[in-house]
Chains A and B, each alone.
Chain A
Amino acid sequence: MRVKQVSVFVENECGRLEAILEALQGESINIRALSVSETAEFGIVRMILDNPEKGLQALRQAGFTTRIDWMLSAQIPDVPGGLLNTVARPLAKAGINIKYFYAYIGQGGGNEATVVLKPDDLEKAEEVLAAR
């Protein structure tokens, strides 16, 4: 299914993550998943929030450059080969590249994990994953 991701441009410096988290906490926004991609100079913080629009506003208010993008999220069984069989292989077979992704163990910590991914063709990837 589709899910909105909020991403933030951040300098790779002490205290910047703290500033992001403070902005979100101030509006009582919860982070469901988070990943950071970084260079020596800067990073991109990507987050799945319980209220993405409100989160975006809070971060903008705090002076951050931020954006919202549609992503795909998929449930995968928390077993060996789970990611391979449920997501990676079907998408590869359909010729879809995953630009980046991250995973988290869902609420309740049961026997399922959730992956958030950015395919190069969102609609096609959505069809492939829905067909399963």
Chain B
Amino acid sequence: MIRDPEHEAMPRSELEKLQLERLKAKVREVYEKVPFYRRTFKEKGVTPDDIQTLADLTKLPFTSKLDFRDNYPYGLMAVPLEQVVRIHSSSGTTGKPVIAPYTQRDIDTWSEIMARTLATCGATKDDVIQNAYGYGLFTGGLGFHYGAERLGALVIPTSSGNTKRQILLLQDLGTTVITCTPSYALILHETATEMGVDLRDTKLRLGIFGAEPWSEQMRRDIEERLGILAMNIYGLTEVIGPGVSVECPYKCGMHIAEDHFLVEIIDPETGEQLPYGEEGELVITTLTKEAQPVIRFRTRDITSLNPEPCQCGRTTARMSRVTGRTDDMLVVRGVNVFPSQIESVLLDVEGVEPHYLIVVDRQHAFKSDELEIWVEVSEELFSDEMQKMEDLERRLQSEMDSVLGISARIKLVEPKTIARTEGKAKRVVDRSEL
């Protein structure tokens, strides 16, 4: 069902008119209120007056994740702190997290976008939505929660984890829609099977999955094992959180909320804008965000755009499933992890030279939802006393957990276990390669 036909099924010429009007206002606003943008605009020799058409977007400078770090925590904000009512956050590349502030109006906008998003997937006010995205700083939990309430559905805020209780509530409360990461959907299935529960026999009919990369094969597995429709959703903290784009039941790409987000695809090497249909890096400009608008944010996600109208009646452009990243970011259980974060922890713990390896299991992502970090034991670290070795392991473990925000398993290994490579070391391997 189309919740907001005025915006979701707008003729593209009108949509573009609305986008341009909003872009011009937003560009002027950040130029006047955010010193960072005034500076980067000036460096590029551009002023708000230069933005007269949507094509003029390419005159504007890019914003990157590094800019979030350099302006941590409030340097990119366009409103006084008194107007901010909530903060969300996700991992930065090193040390400092990314901060996402919201005004009350941002929360309202986001809630409406999420209600629209849920409706696009086929959820209605009559649904019982079990929200197993993590509640807290992560945008997933509260983003879905507010959207589901706005839709008028019944929300069960289970958050992530405690899988047996999830299964119990899912059965007893008659859950019809599950929202979580795709890997957690498979963990739910495994646990249900161990408990002797066949999820296909429950009222569950729909799942809305995102916050980590997944494949069409994984979609088929989830749909078959859970007996549901599995929909793909996309979003990111820097821009708003979940709700940037989502699939309709025709599953032919994710409809972008183009009245709120102006998207383009660029060549990640040259920064040149690419035409529709070509694969490249997704760049997003927020058109309505108040607390922290972002201009031409480089998402590092690789995808392509299709502006053709969809069978569902929506006119918004669709982005294909994200096929990769232009950086080395990993997504583990919905949490962004950068090898540079791991490196900084190892350097902080005295004596550890960063000979380490991050072991992931992409083929069985649902079976071992653990991140494993192999650390080579150098002579500086080695002790003949077991207690000291176990202390080292524990110290690395707790430092890593607190910096990454998820639990990582530390494995101490002999030197030279980790292959040395010429030039840039290979820091992430799949278990199947070992």
Contacts and interface: CB of A to CB of B under 8 A. Distances in A.
Interface residues of A, number: 21
B414 A118 contact: no
B357 to A, nearest CB: 14
Contact of B414 (A5, A46, A63): A63
Contacts of A104: none
Contact of B382 (A5, A41, A63, A65): A65
Nearest to B385: A99
Contacts, number: 53
Given A39-B390, A44-B389, A9 B382 contact: yes
A100 B377 contact: no
B411 A66 contact: no
Contacts of B55: none
B386 interface: yes
B377 A9 contact: yes
Contacts of A41: 411-412
A17 B392 CA distance: 23
A69 B377 contact: no
Contacts of A46: 384
A67 B411 CA distance: 20
Contacts of A44: 383-386, 389
B378 interface: yes
A7 B386 CA distance: 11
A63 B415 contact: yes
A99 B390 CA distance: 14
Interface string B135-163: 00000000000000000000000000000
> Main SS of the interface on chain A?
strand
B193 interface: no
Contacts of B412: 9, 41-42
A66 B379 CA distance: 6
B424 interface: no
Given A63-B416, A66-B379, A100 B385 contact: yes
A77 to B, nearest CB: 27
Contact of B386 (A16, A64, A100): A100
Interface in B359-398: 377-379, 381-387, 389-390
B384 A11 contact: no
Contacts of B47: none
Given A10-B414, A66-B379, A42 B389 contact: yes
A61 interface: no
Q: Which of A37, A42, A69, A100 has the most CB of B within 10 A?
A: A42
A118 B411 contact: no
Interface of B: 377-379, 381-387, 389-390, 411-417
Given A9-B377, A16-B414, A44-B385, 16 more contacts: A5-B384, A11-B414, A37-B386, A42-B377, A42-B413, A44-B383, A63-B414, A63-B416, A65-B379, A65-B381, A65-B382, A65-B415, A66-B379, A99-B385, A99-B387, A118-B385
20 contacts: A7-B384, A9-B389, A10-B414, A16-B414, A37-B386, A39-B390, A42-B377, A42-B412, A44-B385, A46-B384, A63-B416, A65-B378, A65-B381, A65-B414, A66-B379, A67-B379, A67-B382, A67-B384, A99-B387, A100-B385
